[in-house]
Amino acid sequence: MSEWQETPTHWLASDGKWYPSQQPVSPAPPAPKRSWWSTKRRLIAGGVVAIVVIWGAAAGGTDELFEVETSARTEIAAELTAVPTRASELAVDVEPEPMVETALPAQTPLPSSPTTVVPLATPAPTTMRPTVVPAPTPSPSASVAAPLVSSPTVSPVGGGSSGVVAAALGFLAVADVRAELVAEIAYNRDSYAPGGWADSDGDCQSDRHEVLIDESLIPVTLTADGCKVVSGRWIDRLDGTSYGLASEVSIDHHVALSAAHRAGAWAWDDSSKQRFSSDIGFPAAHGVTGLSTNQAKADREPDSWKPPLQTAWCRYALDWVGVKTRWELAYSVAEVDALKDMLRTCDPGAVVGDRINVESANPVIAPIVKPTAVPDVVVNAGPADVVLGSCDARAEIVVLENRGSEPIRLSGWVLHDEGRKHEYDLSMISLLSGQRVSILTGPDATPTTETVVWKQQNVWNNDGDTAHLINSNQTLVDQANC
């Protein structure tokens, strides 16, 4: 084999990459022949590079791919440096041929710049904002959970109805609730309002007229002496009717006097009873109503009577709870259930004022003096047994007696004369076993601890009449000639 010189078209750099030749290369003697294993090593090395590149792409790691590939190529380049690359070296009897670019599998040269490791994206700096955690809103009921005896003043609860409803429910949750309300002493209106409406501030205007002035939607017209209201404009809060004359309306005790009596006022001293009757400074205590509405309501609790105007139920229930809470009065189970039903009608967004801004009135409990049973009342074993003990037409007195062994409240009972020209609702009266009560009528009727004044008008006609006693089932229980 003769000597030859060759100017290679490419040369292999130390970084393992092929570059175009710029200068002639000095002649080199023919390299020794290589075995088949040398050729196979080159092929294996190329396969390794391909496997490394494919594996890196599948792993999805850009930085790791560049680093592994560069390392592998560097090792392969070192390997190739020691391996003959000319075709003439691959066979013993092959005539040397000029080297062409296809002597090795064609591949696109990689950039000569060093491998750049691309860092992971750095998130943009975030301004840390403090998380504002709203302060817990105290439950309205928490401030009213204690009985008024230990905490007589309760702070006002917001103007929205949701706050006052929660307060009202809180009061009901700690209230004195009983199966039935029964007074141990007969009701006597004169103990609460002797002589009618009082003039609490001594300005010649009775408490009735003070309420009329306060609740009129326009300036009122007074009598010449300025002591009585003649006209104004009032809206009955119970049925929505508008009135213009004072003679058309009544002043309603929201919790009627006899209803308060059953709920515990029977045990108060007379001063506390009269303060309750004239509590005109407390907005929930009184209201202007039409005569017919006031008569229909009478002394009934919410479980037996509700305002005709359903939109009035919310305020009615709030006022009822406000009065009973202020005066520490008891409730019946049925009454509480009815009040809760009415409170459910409240509009959460409505503004109802401070109807539950309650300050205890601190009623004074009088020494309990139970009436002594009249000796001639014969008490029988068994349930309550109410009868007409007597009827005196000239004295205008009818006597009721409980001859049973158990107390009774005459709820729904009625007393009337012959022909039912006059009728008296006995619901306000409760009788113990062996107790009697005298019901008085006539212009000179005067109540005592053992009597009740029905009306100051003659009922029994002075010349003979018949008294009829009707129970809650509208059944005639007894009758007596007068």
Q: What pLDDT, in 10s, does the model give residues 294-337? A: 989 999 999 999 999 999 999 999 999 999 999 999 999 999 99
90 and 30 both lie in a single domain: yes
297 and 395 both lie in a single domain: no
C-alpha atoms less than 13 angstroms from C-alpha of 201 in its C-beta half-sphere: 11
Closest CA to 12 of 74, 97, 69: 74
What pLDDT was estimated at residue 111?
45
166 and 94 both lie in a single domain: no
Give the single-character DSSP code of 412: T
Least confident of 54-63, 147-156, 367-376, 429-438: 147-156
Q: Are 373 and 435 in contact (CB under 8 A)?
A: yes
Q: Which residues contact 404 (CB under 8 A, 6 or more apart)?
A: 379, 380, 382, 383, 384, 385, 386, 433
**What's the sign of the alpha-carbon dihedral 103, 106, 111, 115?**
negative
182 and 267 both lie in a single domain: yes
332 and 417 both lie in a single domain: no
76 and 174 both lie in a single domain: no
What pLDDT was estimated at residue 404?
87
Q: DSSP 3-state assignment of 153?
A: strand
Q: Is 93 left (phi over 0), alpha (psi -120 to 50) or beta?
A: alpha
Label residue 356 exposed, middle or buried (CB < 10 Å: 0-12, 13-18, 19+). buried
Least confident of 191-200, 214-223, 349-358: 349-358
Residue 380 lies in a domain: no
pTM score, whole prediction: 0.49
For residues 391 and 394, give the distance between their C-alpha atoms in angstroms, rounded to a whole number.
9
Domain boundary among 309, 325, 343: 343
Q: Which two tokens stand for residue 63?
A: 């930085």
At residue 156, does pLDDT exceed 50? no
What pLDDT was estimated at residue 131?
35
235 and 185 both lie in a single domain: yes
At residue 21, does pLDDT exceed 60? no
Secondary structure of 352-366 in the HEC alphabet?
A: CCCCCCCECCCCCEC
At residue 241, does pLDDT exceed 80? yes
Amino acid at 114: P
153 and 98 both lie in a single domain: no
Least confident of 316-330, 409-423, 447-461: 447-461
What pLDDT was estimated at residue 65?
43
What is the side-by-side order of every strand in the sheet holding 476-481?
A: 423-425, 414-416, 466-470, 476-481
Q: Which two tokens stand for residue 314?
A: 């919310």
Residue 368 lies in a domain: no
Residue 400 lies in a domain: yes
Residue numbers of the domain that contains 71:
10-103
How many domains does one find in the chain? 3
Query: What's the full length of the chain, in residues?
Result: 482
Q: What pLDDT, in 10s, does the model give residues 267-300? A: 999 999 999 999 998 989 999 999 999 989 999 9
Domain boundary among 81, 103, 125: 103
Query: What phi, psi does 162 have (nearest 5°)?
Result: -60, -35
49 compared with 408, residue with greater pLDDT: 408
For residues 172 and 280, give the distance between their C-alpha atoms in angstroms, rounded to a whole number.
23
Q: Which residues contact 46 (CB under 8 A, 6 or more apart)?
A: 76, 105
Beta carbons within 10 angstroms of residue 241's beta carbon: 17
Residue 355 lies in a domain: no
48 compared with 479, residue with greater pLDDT: 479
Helix (H) or strand (E) holding 287, with range, is strand 286-290
Amino acid at 208: R
Average pLDDT, the chain: 73
Q: Is 86 left (phi over 0), alpha (psi -120 to 50) or beta?
A: beta
317 compared with 393, residue with greater pLDDT: 317
What pLDDT was estimated at residue 459?
87
